[in-house]
Chain A
Amino acid sequence: MPVADELADDPLEDAYYDYLLRIGDDALILGQRLSEWCGHAPSVEVDLSLANMALDLIGQATHILNQANNGDGDELAFKRDVLDSTWQHLLFQQLAESRDPFLSAIASKAVKEVAYHRELASEWTVRLGDGTDESAARMRDALDWCWRFVPELFEVDEALEEMIARQTVPDPRSFEREYRAAIGDVLAEAKLEMPADQRPILGGRRGHHSEHLGHLLAVMQYLPRTYPDAVW
């Protein structure tokens, strides 16, 4: 029996629902962060690249969160790039083979978008890492900062364990080695050193976030809260 039929009786079945929220929120938050760059890039071309990627991600989030919320993602919804797009790319490649028709369909579409994000982000990493002294120093700082969030991408908790057991979603640990090798290749080409492993920041999946999330949500919620009936 297809997974979707089993789930049709109980669409908000916990593990599936949690999984949709996780991958939906990943796309939504990175999309919002990228959109914040709009107007700040050094050229209109880079502005467009960032805005295009933001729109791809918010589109993915809309589909996924709509599914989680029985077709109304806005309510849920308005509740960093090479590292994330590489992970997303590896995940969606496998997720495209999922037994669940919805996850398989969304991943098949999104895998092309994130393949492009990954290539663009990798090319910029190489150019900035192997650029001027200033750009290399900034890349090192950024990498150092972001590296502590990488282990969480491969963390498997009970909810995810359940989804993996049903063969509905891939185990992220199955592509961790490939992920680290791919990031290592990009960093080597960028003449950047692989950062030392730090004490990881975990818990985002369980709702433990930094103070940044409050500000982020305030911006995202401003429009619907100020104009509850706004449509466009």
Chain B
Amino acid sequence: MSSDWPLWEVFIRAKGGLAHRHVGSVHAPDQELALRHARDTYTRRLEGVSLWVVKSTDIVASDPDEAGPLFEPAEDKIYRHPTFYDIPDEVKHI
């Protein structure tokens, strides 16, 4: 049953040149079937040209309790944003 199967995180590259993006997860008994389940579940409508699956337990996640020290120091550093440049229209996905 699927409850006995490990969880896999699914990443899709929408088209050449773009990065893989996380789209969701699937249950599967092993890595080959995880890829097939990801294909059957998440690429039914031409969503992408490449798939990655990663065992959920292999992902190292940050601790939500440490969100303060991890992320808040960036809040007042607006000079790190490239907002002082004009970005050409041709440049998408920046």
Contact = CB atoms under 8 A, between A and B. Distances in A.
- Summarize A's interface: helix, strand, loop or mixed: helix
Q: How large is the interface on B (under 10, 10 to 19, 20 to 34, 35 or more residues)?
A: 10 to 19
Interface stretch (B12-20, B34-42, B57-65, B69-77): B34-42
B41 A48 contact: yes
A49 B2 contact: no
Contacts of A45: 2, 26-28, 37, 40-41
Interface in A1-58: 42-46, 48-49, 52
Contacts, number: 34
Q: How large is the interface on A (under 10, 10 to 19, 20 to 34, 35 or more residues)?
A: 10 to 19
A127 B33 contact: yes
B12 to A, nearest CB: 15
A120 B33 CA distance: 8
Contacts of A48: 37, 40-41, 44
Contacts of B86: none
Contacts of A44: 2, 41
Closest 5 CB pairs between A and B? A43-B2, A45-B37, A49-B40, A48-B40, A42-B1
Contacts of B44: 48, 52
Interface string A96-138: 0000000000000000000000011001000100000000000
A33 B30 CA distance: 27
A55 to B, nearest CB: 9
B60 to A, nearest CB: 25
Nearest to B8: A45
A43 B28 CA distance: 9
